[in-house]
């Protein structure tokens, strides 16, 4: 039993907090701290009164002193960072100062440079080792479950994995001409960046949306998908020994792509500050303010997600393929926790990562990605906490 401090109170945090409150076997106390305290209070009011004791706090997660003060006051056994990637390093600094384990779902990204990389957080390895505490990076779905799936495939199904294709399909329809399923600023930065994949020991860079494939997803049907750079490619390229190629594909509908192109063409996705009425504004942040809040999509999103990994490799001298995936229904998620499936598929693994670090199952001093731990307890917890996985031993491969 232990206490978790959740930082951030947006779409993903809301799901993780619901799941923490359902999991009184592991958690006996929870502090929700974020920039806007009223959101934390509203959730505490909705979920309070159960076995998990809830407190709330206001915090600026970019201010290490405020974070240290909060951690010293609340004394959590683990900090679960569900704010934005910009705050990863300040929260890690506060965890180091207070010797508190750290878990997040997205790697650090400097505000003025949309090129995310693990190097900023991997630079903390020695410091966390010396402090004797664990930092678990990327415990969402992708990254997160995709890394756990890779470790599981390696442990149980292959002697060597040569190729991994990560396929992220969202077959959900929210009825808006354009909206993003998680934080619009982070989402648009990700999809407007160059594509990248790992092949034979080096990165191959593509133009945004240059590589398109079609795939028939179980539970969803035929979808167009596009090759993107995604952060787990960087850690899996290092941690899956013998890997020759890793790619990441995400599905997008035509309406999303047409709107995005238009917004890009008129400069609305830019992160360079501009002067507006004598005030500096960042166009992408302004765009975020006029787009639907992802948290509001829950009631109106119908359909399913299907996210997973196709592996190709060798077992006992024979070539083998294997597909591990999860299908999640937007409306079922909404009925259970009041959120759509994108927040759900991230919030559940975030809770599981925090639980495993907190109870010592996944504990080793240093900074680690999910695939560096034993996947079995995580896989078991996915089935128990709402993200059951399915296997296909003869999958259709992506050309």
Residues 325-384 that bind ligand NDP (CB under 6 A): 346
Cβ proximity to ligand NDP, 182 vs 217, nearer residue:
182
Q: Smallest distance from the beta carbon of 27 to ligand NDP, in angstroms?
A: 19
Contact residue for ligand NDP among 9, 47, 137, 284 (CB under 6 A) = 9
Residues 350/139, Cβ–Cβ less than 8 Å: yes
- Give CA–CA dist 245/394, Å, rounded: 19
Strands (E), 207-276: 212-217, 221-227, 245-251, 274-276
Residues 223-262 that bind ligand NDP (CB under 6 A): none
Q: Which stretch binds ligand NDP (CB under 6 A): 125-133, 140-148, 361-369, 380-388?
A: 140-148
Residue 259, exposed/middle/buried by CB under 10 A (0-12, 13-18, 19+)? middle
- Give CA–CA dist 289/283, Å, rounded: 10
Interface with ligand NDP includes 191 (CB under 6 A)?
Answer: no
What does DSSP say about strands 195-199 and 202-206: parallel, antiparallel, or unpaired? antiparallel
Q: How far is CA 371 from CA 14, 73, 107, 305, in A?
A: 25, 33, 15, 22
Q: Which stretch binds ligand NDP (CB under 6 A): 179-187, 267-275, 356-364, 366-374?
A: 179-187
Residues 67-126 that bind ligand NDP (CB under 6 A): 82-85, 87, 105-106
Interface with ligand NDP includes 147 (CB under 6 A)?
Answer: no
Cβ proximity to ligand NDP, 65 vs 126, nearer residue:
65
Interface with ligand NDP includes 180 (CB under 6 A)?
Answer: no
Residues 6+ apart with CB under 8 A from 380: none
332: its two tokens: 């079922």
Residues 260-319 that bind ligand NDP (CB under 6 A): 294-295
Mapped onto helix, strand or coil, the DSSP state of residue 391 is strand
Cβ proximity to ligand NDP, 152 vs 182, nearer residue:
182
Q: Smallest distance from the beta carbon of 136 to ligand NDP, in angstroms?
A: 12
Cβ proximity to ligand NDP, 12 vs 313, nearer residue:
12
Residue count at the site for ligand NDP (CB under 6 A)? 32
Cβ proximity to ligand NDP, 243 vs 297, nearer residue:
297
Interface with ligand NDP includes 140 (CB under 6 A)?
Answer: yes
354: its two tokens: 């925090």
Cβ proximity to ligand NDP, 15 vs 227, nearer residue:
15
Cα-Cα-Cα-Cα torsion 268, 7, 234, 170, nearest 10 degrees, comes to: -60
Contact residue for ligand NDP among 18, 35, 189, 247 (CB under 6 A) = 35
Q: b/e map of 194-220 (b: 16 or more CB within 10 Å)?
A: ebbbbeeeeeeeeebbeeebebebebb
Interface with ligand NDP includes 6 (CB under 6 A)?
Answer: no
Residues 39-68 that bind ligand NDP (CB under 6 A): 39, 59-62
Element (H or E) spanning 12, and its range?
A: helix 11-22
Q: Which stretch binds ligand NDP (CB under 6 A): 2-10, 215-223, 351-359, 378-386?
A: 2-10
219 closest CA partner among 368, 385, 390, 357: 390
Residues 99/128, Cβ–Cβ less than 8 Å: no
Q: Which residues bind ligand NDP (CB under 6 A)?
A: 8-13, 34-36, 39, 59-62, 82-85, 87, 105-106, 140-144, 182-183, 186, 294-295, 346
């Amino acid at each position: 039993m232990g206490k978790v401090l959740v930082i951030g109170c947006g779409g993903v945090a809301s799901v993780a907090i619901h799941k923490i409150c359902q999991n009184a076997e592991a958690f006996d106390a929870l502090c929700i701290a974020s920039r806007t305290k009223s959101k934390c209070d509203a959730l505490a009011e909705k979920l309070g009164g159960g076995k998990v004791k809830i407190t709330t706090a206001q915090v600026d997660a970019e201010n290490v002193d405020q974070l240290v003060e909060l951690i010293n006051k609340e004394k959590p056994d683990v900090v679960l960072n569900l704010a934005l990637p910009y705050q990863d390093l300040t929260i890690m600094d506060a965890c180091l100062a207070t010797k508190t384990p750290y878990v997040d779902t997205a790697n650090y990204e400097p505000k003025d440079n949309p090129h995310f990389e693990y190097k900023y957080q991997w630079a903390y390895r020695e410091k966390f080792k010396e402090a004797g505490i664990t930092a678990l990076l990327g415990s969402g779905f992708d990254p997160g479950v995709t890394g756990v799936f890779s470790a599981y495939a390696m442990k149980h199904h292959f002697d060597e994995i040569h190729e991994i294709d990560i396929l992220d399909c969202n077959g959900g329809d929210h009825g808006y001409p354009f909206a993003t399923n998680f934080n619009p600023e982070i989402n648009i930065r990700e999809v407007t960046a160059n594509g990248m994949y790992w092949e034979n020991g080096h990165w191959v860079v593509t133009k945004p949306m240059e590589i398109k494939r079609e795939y028939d997803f179980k539970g969803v049907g035929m979808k167009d998908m596009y090759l993107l750079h995604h952060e787990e490619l960087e850690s899996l390229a290092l941690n899956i020994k013998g890997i020759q190629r890793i790619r990441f594909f995400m599905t997008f509908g035509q309406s999303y792509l047409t709107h995005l192109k238009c917004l890009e063409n008129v400069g609305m996705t830019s992160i360079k500050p501009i002067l507006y009425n004598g005030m500096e504004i960042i166009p992408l942040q302004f765009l975020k303010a006029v787009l639907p809040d992802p948290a509001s999509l829950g009631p109106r999103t119908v359909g399913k997600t299907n996210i997973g990994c196709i592996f190709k490799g060798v077992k006992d001298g024979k070539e083998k393929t294997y597909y591990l995936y999860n299908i999640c229904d937007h409306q079922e998620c909404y009925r259970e926790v009041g959120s759509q499936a994108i927040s759900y598929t991230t919030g559940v693994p975030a809770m599981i990562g925090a639980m495993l670090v907190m109870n010592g199952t996944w504990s080793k001093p240093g900074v680690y990605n999910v695939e560096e731990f034993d996947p079995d307890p995580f896989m078991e917890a996915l089935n128990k906490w709402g993200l059951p996985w399915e296997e296909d031993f003869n999958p259709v491969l992506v050309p």
